[in-house]
Amino acid sequence: MKGIAHFASGLCVASFVPGVVEDAAQGGLLIALGGACAMLPDLLDFRFAKFLARRDADILPDRDQPTPQALADALAGEFAAVTSHRPRIVHLHPLRRGVADWVLYSVRFDTAHGDVVVTMGDAEGRAHVGRLDYPYEGALDVIELGGPSFAIAQGAQGFRIDFLPWHRTWSHSLVLALGLGLLLTALLGPLAGLVGGLGYAVHVLEDQLGYMGSNLFWPFTRRRFAGLRLMHAGDAIPNIVTVWLALGLLLLNLDQARDVPLIAVGPFLGLGVLLPAAGLTLIYARRKWSRALAEQLAREALAEGEADGR
């Protein structure tokens, strides 16, 4: 999910902790601590882990003759260099040729054919690498601010490709959420510890709704647990629904702490919060189902074509 969704969720969770809303009414910042701690896992990743991560190869376009086929061939070479000992980390880069002159491209893993596909404008390059185990959807865009990285390893289903291998590892751990809670308890008291730990944990659990998953129990394990694949982090509707629910419940909790509440709980919760969220969720689920059906039909058509060709 996006940062604003995590922040809103952290505020919401904090408002359910007894005493936090009353603290906010007195000018306290405990409720804001929940939102800040909910953003901390991604802050650790994108400000620290990203730059400390190991990488074995950097792929960028040729300055004189940038072509998608050359990039596809370079990526295929990295697959060929993978050994059974450890994953190979590859980082994609754009090419800057002037102040506003960039060579940009996108990379897609065609699991049906076992190909690496690079698109640059209207041109496409393709290189065969073998069976691919790639659990995500869509292309990886290499934009002006930089490109993504991925880890290639040999697996039972062919080459296993993990997107952003430095992301959602040690930082996205429920054990670390507990540790943060204990640290805040020692520094600021038990209420701050509970708010901070819950805010951190809700971020980790929300990320399990996606495809990438998280390393839930670092340092006791070093593997990322697979996500539920219900959404992508950048999908608009799930982020809107999360913010809507979080802020709606937050507003309700703030109002119920008043001496004389102004909001009727039933109508507000049912019509103002849950009904719009359910409607948007149904729209998203229908779109996701339609895309999955179209992809399944395309795979079946491809399989029939290959069978007829044989």
Write out pLDDT tens, residues 132-168. 998 887 789 999 878 899 999 998 889 999 999 999 9
Model confidence pLDDT, tens digit, residues 212-249: 889 999 999 988 888 898 998 889 999 999 999 999 99
Three-class SS state of 123: strand
Give the mean pLDDT of the chain: 92
Distance between CA atoms of 148 and 18, rounded to whole angstroms? Answer: 42
Structurally, how many domains does the chain consist of? 2
Q: Is residue 187 part of a domain?
A: yes
Pair 88, 112 in one domain: yes
Residue 309 pLDDT greater than 80, yes or no: no
Pair 18, 78 in one domain: no
Specify the higher pLDDT residue, 79 or 295.
79
Q: Is residue 300 part of a domain?
A: no
CB 206 within 8 A of CB 21: no
Pair 44, 175 in one domain: yes
Distance between CA atoms of 194 and 174, rounded to whole angstroms? Answer: 13
Pair 64, 39 in one domain: no
Q: How long, in residues, is the chain?
A: 310
Pair 34, 93 in one domain: no
Report pLDDT for 153.
Answer: 94
pTM score = 0.88
Report pLDDT for 308.
Answer: 65
Segment 74-78 shows an average pLDDT of 96
Q: Is residue 222 part of a domain?
A: yes
Residue 307 pLDDT greater than 70, yes or no: no
Show which of 163, 178, 199 is a domain's final residue: 163
Pair 178, 282 in one domain: yes
- Give the range of the structural domain holding residue 199, as residue numbers without chain letter: 3-51+169-290
Report pLDDT for 138.
Answer: 78
Q: Is residue 136 part of a domain?
A: yes
Pair 38, 104 in one domain: no
Residue 93, CA distances (Å) to 49, 62, 234, 271 in order: 18, 11, 21, 47
Residue 40, CA distances (Å) to 168, 172, 198 in order: 12, 9, 12
Residue type, 105: Y
Pair 96, 113 in one domain: yes
Distance between CA atoms of 96 and 226, rounded to whole angstroms? Answer: 36
Pair 157, 284 in one domain: no
Show which of 163, 193, 213 is a domain's final residue: 163
Pair 185, 272 in one domain: yes
Report pLDDT for 229.
Answer: 87
Segment 298-302 shows an average pLDDT of 67
According to DSSP, the β-strands at 123-128 and 95-96 are unpaired
Model confidence pLDDT, tens digit, residues 80-107: 999 888 899 999 999 998 888 899 999 9
Q: Is residue 67 part of a domain?
A: yes
Residue 11, CA distances (Å) to 42, 55, 122, 181, 263 in order: 17, 36, 45, 16, 19
pLDDT category, 291, cuts 50, 70, 90? Answer: confident
